[in-house]
Amino acid sequence: MTPEDAWALVAALAAEHRVAAWGATTLDRLRTDDFLLPTDTLSRLTHAVSLALPLLPAVLATLTDRPNRLYEHHYRQTNFALDRLGLALGRAIQDSGYAALPIPASQIVDWENQRGHLSHKRVAVAAGVGWLGRNNLLVTPAHGAQIRLITVLTDLPLPTSAPTRRDCGDCRACLEACPGHAIGETPMDFDHLACFARLKEFQRRRDVGQYICGLCVRACTGGRPTTNVER
Ligand code: SF4
Ligand code: SF4
């Protein structure tokens, strides 16, 4: 398969599933020694496809000062949709004679360190889907951080996308929105412990049944006006 045909295969699936943004990278552009995957498996795969599905602004608009059940349900359903997208893309790649390994959208495999098989965010940055924002989330030009991600590893010979040169610029909307005061000037300043303490508090109060919040997601439109969120 030519790189152009490989690109067209993924593009068709992305359009069918209403993907907000997607891109591809080679694995040698990424640090993979901390991927929680068998070395043999990784050695056979050369590329990663990163795909983002948008969250619905009307659901995010129901968040005020805490997460709620509507957001929790939407978060889970979006993860299911991402996993179905990963499966569909994996099958299409397999049918073309190549290998595909969809990585679950939200699955913890290292409970002590709260880590999945790999960082979807890190893959997305390398694949040019967006940049790492002050809120430590992947921020896309069109939807801000109001997306969720999935990764499919493959040996399909895809053309790669260049990482974006955009960044948060003058925007600091998420700093004001964060009830845990966890967000700083750069992603390096992000206070994971302060964020997690607030997530535990939300769960302890039974606002939601899992460690999610959504307030810095709601606040982030990638530096654009917030009219689509407030509607
Ligand atoms: S998830 Fe909530 S507590 Fe954590 S950084 Fe975002 S807004 Fe702050
Ligand atoms: S809300 Fe603004 S500062 Fe925060 S991550 Fe998004 S674009 Fe960056």
**Using one digit for the tens of pLDDT, what is the confidence trace for 102-118?**
999 999 888 888 899 99
Report the largest interatomic distance among the alpha carbons of the chain, rounded to a whole angstrom. Answer: 54
Nearest to 69 by CA among 167, 176, 207: 207
- The answer on pLDDT for 226 being more than 80 is no
Please state the rounded mean pLDDT for residues 127-143.
97
Centre of ligand 2 from the C-alpha of residue 145, in Å: 8
* Res. 2: pLDDT tops 50: yes
CA distance 215 to 65: 7
Q: Are 49 and 10 in contact (CB under 8 A)?
A: yes
**What mean pLDDT do residues 4-17 have?**
95
Cα 170 to ligand 1 centre (Å)? 20
> Whole-angstrom Cα distance, residue 190 to residue 212?
16
The pLDDT-based confidence of 51 (bands split at 50, 70, 90) is: very high
DSSP state of 207: S
pLDDT of residue 225: 64
- CA dist 173 and 74 (Å) reads 23
Cβ of residue 183 lying under 6 Å from some atom of ligand 1: yes
Return the pLDDT at 59: 98
Q: Is residue 231 part of a domain?
A: no
Examine the pLDDT at 43 and tell me if it is beyond 60.
yes
Dist. CA 186 → ligand 2 center (Å) = 10
Torsion over CA: 167, 170, 174, 179 (sign): positive
Lowest mean pLDDT among 32-36, 69-73, 160-164: 32-36
Our count of domains for the chain comes to 1
Is residue 229 in a domain?
A: no
Per-residue confidence (pLDDT) for residue 111, from 0 to 100: 86
Task: Pull the structure tokens for residue 65.
Answer: 């000062």
Q: Is residue 176 part of a domain?
A: yes
Domain that holds residue 89: 1-224
Which amino acids bring their CB within 6 angstroms of ligand 2?
133-135, 139, 144-145, 168, 171-174, 219-220, 222-223
Q: Distance between CA 179 and CA 109 in Å, rounded?
A: 28
Q: Are 128 and 183 in contact (CB under 8 A)?
A: no
Q: What is the pLDDT of residue 229?
A: 41
- Say if 122 falls within a structural domain: yes
Q: What SS3 class is residue 128? A: coil
Mean pLDDT of 66-85: 97
Q: What is the pTM of this model?
A: 0.94
